[in-house]
Amino acid sequence: MISLGLRPVMARSKAASREFALIARHFAPLATHRAALALRDDAALLVPEKGHSLVITKDAIAEGVHFLASDPMDLVARKLLRVNVSDLAAKGAKPLGYFLATAFPDGTTDQAVAMFCKGLKADQKTYGLSLLGGDTIRTFGPAVFSCTMIGTVAGRRFVSRNGAKPGDDLWVTGTLGDSGQGLALLQQRATAPEKAASALMRRYWLPSPPFSFHAHLAGLAHAALDVSDGLLQDAGHLAELGGVQLAVRLEAIPLSSAFVKSAGRSNAAKLTAATSGDDYQILFSAPAAARERVQAAARASRTKVTCIGTVKKGRGVIVLDAHGLDVTPERTGYTHF
């Protein structure tokens, strides 16, 4: 496509030349899957594995909104991949590859692009991903990156948001609130001992979705999603789409020792953890009869899981303290519409 900012053929060829060189040098080595056609075509050709369906998700991030220009570019790239891996894992899907659109600010150095691609490469290895295609454009404003990630499930074993049933247990993987506390530290809204602070900020920069748990989810969960906007808010989606009520036990909210060192373990701290964003853990409901299978899956995939409540008849999300008293905060974020 021609660019308004550039004039006739010479300038255009030079710009195109830069783009092709950028792709050849930095991005082509990341296109390891045959579907990518080595980025030599305008499109990828994907022949899905027999008996499998595709699960596709797309998340975008913008400089100044989701990350800062001063953030290490390799971590920005890895976070972009990980927020998409998180969406797929929560659907029980195995990531396969991704399409990437990068709008780098005019004047971005080759070194910054190289650092960005170094991050992509590292996480391609971690999650078994390949770059499949994309577009590299310029913007006169802050950077915007978008990633469309493709995963596969056997048959149609997609774990949706809408199957939670009264009587189900409510589970969450990992610990909650770490990333939100990391951001609070970065914004100097909180304090922590040095080691804990570093762990929490690290969790904000580089989420760690419970990737290896995805393979177990389809056989166990009635409904699932990834916790990205805060546990209570995301629980609201499960409640609304399932036509059920979710009762969360505040004392069961799983906290990391780093979080506790910074925020304590009071009810207020637990509510903070339950309303923080960027957790990238999986929230799922499963029949009470599957309790032992959930624990076995957790052991097999080395994933921490915690039963944090139950699914009931009714609607919305309620939070109960250790005495069974309703301590639901006024805004849990689940009444969007």
Which residues 172-231 are close enough to bind a copy of itself by CB under 8 A? 179-180, 183, 187, 225-226, 228-230
Applying CB under 8 A, the span of 51-59, 211-219, 289-297, 307-315 interacting with a copy of itself comes to 51-59
Q: How far apart are CA 157 and CA 318, in angstroms?
A: 30
Cβ-based nearer residue to a copy of itself, 11 or 296: 11
User: Which residues, 6 or more positions from 250, have their beta carbon under 8 angstroms from its beta carbon?
Assistant: 267, 270, 271, 274, 319, 320, 321, 322, 327
DSSP 93: P
243 lies in the binding site for a copy of itself (CB under 8 A):
no
Per CB under 8 A, 40 contacts a copy of itself: yes
* Among the listed residues 282, 307, 118, the one whose alpha carbon sits nearest the alpha carbon of residue 211: 282
What is the distance between the alpha carbons of residues 281 and 180, in angstroms, rounded to a whole number?
13
Q: In the set 29, 72, 128, 142, which binds a copy of itself (CB under 8 A)?
A: 142
Three-state SS at 264: coil
Verify binding: residue 60, a copy of itself, rule CB under 8 A. yes
| φ, ψ for residue 155, nearest 5 deg | 55, -125
Q: How many residues bind a copy of itself (CB under 8 A)?
A: 92
- State yes or no: residue 306 binds a copy of itself (CB under 8 A): no
Phi, psi (degrees; rounded to nearest 5) at 114: -60, -40
| Min dist. Cβ of residue 296 to a copy of itself (A) | 26
Residue listed under structure tokens 């295609």: 133
Asked if residue 266 binds a copy of itself (CB under 8 A), the reply is no
In the complex, the smallest distance separating the C-beta of residue 337 from a copy of itself, rounded to whole angstroms, is 6
**Cα(195)–Cα(203) distance, rounded to whole angstroms?**
13
Distance from C-alpha of 231 to C-alpha of 242, rounded to nearest angstrom: 16
Q: With respect to a copy of itself, which residue has the nearer C-beta, 41 or 251?
A: 41
80 or 286, CB closer to a copy of itself?
A: 80
Sole binder of a copy of itself in the list 29, 32, 62, 198 (CB under 8 A):
62
Q: How many CB atoms lie within 10 A of CB 266?
A: 10
Q: Site mask, a copy of itself, residues 10-29, x = CB under 8 A?
A: x-xx--xx--xx--x-----
Question: Of these, 161, 214, 222, 261, which contacts a copy of itself (CB under 8 A)?
Answer: 161
Distance CA(299)–CA(313), nearest Å, equals 31
Q: Is 132 a residue that touches a copy of itself (CB under 8 A)?
A: yes
Q: Does 5 bind a copy of itself (CB under 8 A)?
A: yes
